[in-house]
Amino acid sequence: MKDPLIYGMMAEFDNVNDAIIAARRTYAAGYRKLDAYSPFPVEELAEAIGFHKNGVALVCLIGGLLGCTAAFTLQWWINNVSYPINIGGRPLNSWPSFIIVTFEMTILFSGLSAVFGMLTLNGLPMPYHPVFNVPRFELASKDRFFLVIFASDKNYDGVRTRQFLEGLNPISVAEVPS
Amino acid sequence: MAESLRMAKPTEVEIGEQKAPVIAPGHTFASITDKIASIVLRRPITNGWLFGFAICFLILQWFLLAVCWLFYKGVGVWGVNIPVGWGFAIVNFVWWIGIGHAGTLISAILLLLRQSWRNSINRFAEAMTLFAVACAGMFPLLHLGRPWLFYWLFPYPNTMTYWPQFRSPLVWDVFAVSTYLTISLVFWFIGLIPDLASMRDQTTNKALKFVYGSLAMGWRNSVRHWHRYETAYLLLAGLATPLVLSVHTVVSFDFSIGIVPGWHTTIFPPYFVAGAIYSGFAMVLVLAIPIRRFYDIKDFITDRHLENAAMVMLATGWIVAYGYAIEAFVNWYGGDPYETFLRWNRLHGPYALSYYLLLLTNIVVPQILWVKRIRTNSIWLFFVSLDVLVGMWLERFIIVVVSLTRDFVPSSFGQYYPTWNDWSILAGTLGFFAACMFLFLRLLPAVSISELKTLIPQAEVTVKHEEEVHS
């Protein structure tokens, strides 16, 4: 049943509401390995295919804590251990003056973690992806919405999946070569 | 996050009868993509663009000559002296970095405040931020005297067993500005990724497809990707908001931690931040007004945008005016003889003319923005914005030069005159900035395609929740 040359079955929709309804029906029909594509962020569409939570915020938090700790520790170590200077008897660990750099490094690390975490979790950069084998797919960045059921789904069947997608009121249905 | 922050409710889009819409009616997803992408992909290079770019490029060459001369001779070719060690370099640094603030304000703070009108101006405002911060960054580097040793500013293990002084505001500034540049760059680039994918799909040129495709990194508009993307974008906005406020605060610490009269004051952080946003929005208008006219995108940058920017200028202008008033009041109420002398010196000293010009350009002239007809007239707005840019430059000139020329002891009083090299480098950064903007307009989508799509009625999700599916 599994054909290694087939990546999945793609349906095209011309408005966001049809795409959401179709995605919900597909999910309700038991398909789990599926993805949807839209020219702008549509939260309902992500939820319709069963994608509710992502790990970006956690990565960002970890990055921020790391930046914060590293920056403060570095300043403390420089001023207390590596290069202590006694200026008029003032304390070596003058922590209030370390706060600004600590703050900036917290922002820098958490921001970069959010960005690179997002890219990594999304699997980008990705030079090749099978969905682009369907010529109409380039409209996904313009004005069309796409739903793809992957061939790796246990319910996938070349004929029945195509019939199922055709019943969802799409503009076109196409097989995605891998 | 039940709904995306950038997703405007239709009521927000058509907020009232008398206000212009944030996007002209009648647009579809396809027409937005076509219109913005065609500026880059299909519009021929006009003589006007070539002429403008050529002039900026020439100024940039002049700048390079001036910098070569500076490196050859040293900072002595500038007008800096003892007591005025800072001069134009710091005036211009503070001015440029202030201009950069509007981009982050528009992209981050207005996003968090759900101001959907920002969606059509954030892209070029962020580009403006990047170029302005790049211009700003040049000045401290050139001012170093030995700019090739700039990396001494960063903490790294070295053979001198030596570290930067982390108690110094100048070191804080290095961290604040470099963080700001980095975060602004990734914020701008992340915003560009979906649009680069649009450009990749729109172009028929193989080479361009390769370039845009590489930059888009294989973005395929998957809703899972969008979901993480939106989280990352929102987090960046949340992080950039305190960051942008901290940057000019730290810049103001460079002054306010010193004891020089006119610098040692607690009003500086908020007053600097407000001034930064004031000049930043002025620069946004100076750029937006010609861009929307020459590239025919008045559908996306409407009169509503111009009016909102004008109102932000009016509000921040008043915060700046309040700063001037509080400075004068504290000078008088504090009774410190040096501060009292500073007040006299600003009004009657050798640079008095610049102080009167400052009051005129920064406080008096912008009051015409109270008139709605001026706020909605792009010619008037353009000139008021230029006026504010001059005013904010004068403010930094007065803070740096007037205070330093006459501080405590008359025997150490001095005078400061900028030289041709000072002026060339200031003009040169303007040329650099404008040349970058010219290139940006031709190479990248100047308005965010994917974010604009969320503003039109077709983007509205009307289906109800799960129950309907099974009925």
Tell me the per-residue pLDDT of A81-108, one tens digit each, with 9 for 90 and over: 998 988 888 899 999 999 999 999 999 9
Sequence-separated (6 or more) residues with CB below 8 Å from residue B46: none
The nearest CA of chain B is from the CA of A144 a distance in Å of: 9
For position A95, what pLDDT does the model report?
92
A125 → closest Cβ in B28, B218, B236: B218
How many angstroms separate the CA atoms of B263 and B275, rounded? 15
Task: Tally the residues of chain A.
Answer: 178
- Burial class of B115 by CB neighbour count within 10 A (0 to 12, 13 to 18, 19+): middle
Instruction: Retrieve residue B144's tokens.
Output: 């170093």
A40 contacts chain B (CB < 8 A): yes
Q: How confident is the model at residue B465 (pLDDT cuts 50, 70, 90)?
A: low
For position B421, what pLDDT does the model report?
94
A66 contacts chain B (CB < 8 A): no
For position B453, what pLDDT does the model report?
85
Q: How confident is the model at residue A3 (pLDDT cuts 50, 70, 90)?
A: low
pLDDT tens column, B308-348: 899 999 999 999 999 999 999 998 998 899 999 999 999 99
Looking at the DSSP assignment, which residues form a beta bridge with residue A175?
A: A9
Among the listed residues A67, A164, A111, the one whose alpha carbon sits nearest the alpha carbon of residue B180: A111
Instruction: Retrieve residue B191's tokens.
Output: 């915003």
Q: What's the gap between Cα A39 and its chain centre? A: 15
The nearest CA of chain A is from the CA of B236 a distance in Å of: 6
A75 contacts chain B (CB < 8 A): yes
Residue A70, number of CB atoms within 10 A of its CB: 14
pLDDT of B393 over the 90 cut: yes
- Least confident interval from A145-154, B267-276, B453-462: B453-462
Among the listed residues B36, B153, B142, the one whose alpha carbon sits nearest the alpha carbon of residue B96: B142
Instruction: Retrieve residue A9's tokens.
Output: 């079955």
Instruction: Retrieve residue A115's tokens.
Output: 């960005």
Q: Torsion-angle region of residue B221: left (phi > 0), alpha (psi -120 to 50) or beta?
A: left
Q: Looking at this protein, which amino acid is placed at residue B414?
A: G
Would you call B162 helix, strand, or coil by DSSP? coil
Are A122 and B228 a contacting pair at CB < 8 A? yes
Domains and CATH numbers, chain A: 6-54+129-177 (3.30.70), 63-121 (no CATH)
- Least confident interval from A36-50, B54-68, B275-289: A36-50
Structural domain boundaries in chain B:
10-147+241-459
Nearest CA in chain A to B247: A104
A120 contacts chain B (CB < 8 A): no
CA atoms within 13 A on the CB side of B126: 28
B17-31: average pLDDT: 76
Q: Give percent above pLDDT 70 in chain B.
A: 94
Chain A residues in contact with B461 (beta carbon < 8 A): 16-17, 20, 42, 44
Chain A residues in contact with B2 (beta carbon < 8 A): 43
Instruction: Retrieve residue B377's tokens.
Output: 């007239």
For position B386, what pLDDT does the model report?
95
pLDDT of B433 over the 90 cut: yes
CA atoms within 13 A on the CB side of A123: 9
The nearest CA of chain B is from the CA of A26 a distance in Å of: 10
Chain A residues in contact with B218 (beta carbon < 8 A): 124-129
* Average pLDDT over chain B, rounded to an integer: 88
- Burial class of B409 by CB neighbour count within 10 A (0 to 12, 13 to 18, 19+): exposed
Q: Torsion-angle region of residue B450: left (phi > 0), alpha (psi -120 to 50) or beta?
A: alpha
Sequence-separated (6 or more) residues with CB below 8 Å from residue A69: none
Q: What interface predicted TM-score (ipTM) does this complex get?
A: 0.92
pLDDT of B215 over the 70 cut: yes
Would you call A35 helix, strand, or coil by DSSP? strand
Chain B residues in contact with A76 (beta carbon < 8 A): none
B374-401: average pLDDT: 93
H/E stretch holding A95 reads none
How many angstroms separate the CA atoms of B133 and B92, rounded? 11
Task: Select from A13, A14, A26, A40 the residue whose CB has the most chain B CBs within 10 Å, as the one to mutate to test that interface.
Answer: A40
For position B11, what pLDDT does the model report?
41
pLDDT of B90 over the 50 cut: yes
The nearest CA of chain A is from the CA of B421 a distance in Å of: 34
B468 contacts chain A (CB < 8 A): yes
pLDDT of B123 over the 50 cut: yes
How many angstroms separate the CA atoms of B250 and B256, rounded? 10
At A150, phi and psi to the nearest 5? -80, 150
Task: Select from A35, A86, A107 the residue whose CB has the most chain B CBs within 10 Å, as the one to mutate to test that interface.
Answer: A107
> DSSP H helical segments within B203-298, as ranges?
206-216, 223-256, 268-294
Q: Give percent above pLDDT 70 in chain A.
A: 98
Q: Give percent above pLDDT 90 in chain B.
A: 56
Evaluated on CA atoms B159, B162, B163, B168, the torsion sign reads negative
